[in-house]
Structure 1
Amino acid sequence: MPEQDDSEREFDLRWADNAEHKEPSARARMLAARWKENPPAPQPFRADPGPRAPRRSSWVSTLVVFGCVAGLIAVIGYLNYRSSY
């Protein structure tokens, strides 16, 4: 098959995009077949996400991080102090 130049290739893409019948994707066909046997339950537009666990304060997380950093600095300082003697 001879090489097509860009103008012919562009025409082919335009012709394919303008086709009246477009085959559904494999995922669309799979879901259609699955839903034919077992249709999904109707869902509201914005479903209620349900109860959530109470969110911890950002201050608690900040204090935990600073506490870990301070503890690490203290351990490193203690090890340096012990190794100098």
Structure 2
Amino acid sequence: MAAAPALKHWRTTLERVEKFVSPLYFTDCNLRGRLFGASCPVAVLSSFLTPERLPYQEAVQRDFRPAQVGDSFGPTSLADGGPAGSGWS
């Protein structure tokens, strides 16, 4: 039985895979380019803390404070609208 084509031409296959995930080559059509596309730095980031979920119209009227990438916003349990374990039985 013949060997798998990938093993027969290992160096060619490896080069193709490297270009398929490369941040430099063929970024318009390779995997990295399709997943991440063009990116740009964050211009403005702001946040506010609330202990509960809010409707959009109410949330956009809150007082937002400046934030930066990497800031900490407390435990992740606040993101689900309540203390840790709320809604679990």
For the criterion TM > 0.5, the same-fold answer is no
The TM-score normalised by the length of structure 2 is 0.26
**Computing the radius of gyration over CA atoms, which structure comes out larger, 1 or 2?**
1
Higher helix share: 1
When you count strand as a share of all residues, which structure comes out higher? 2
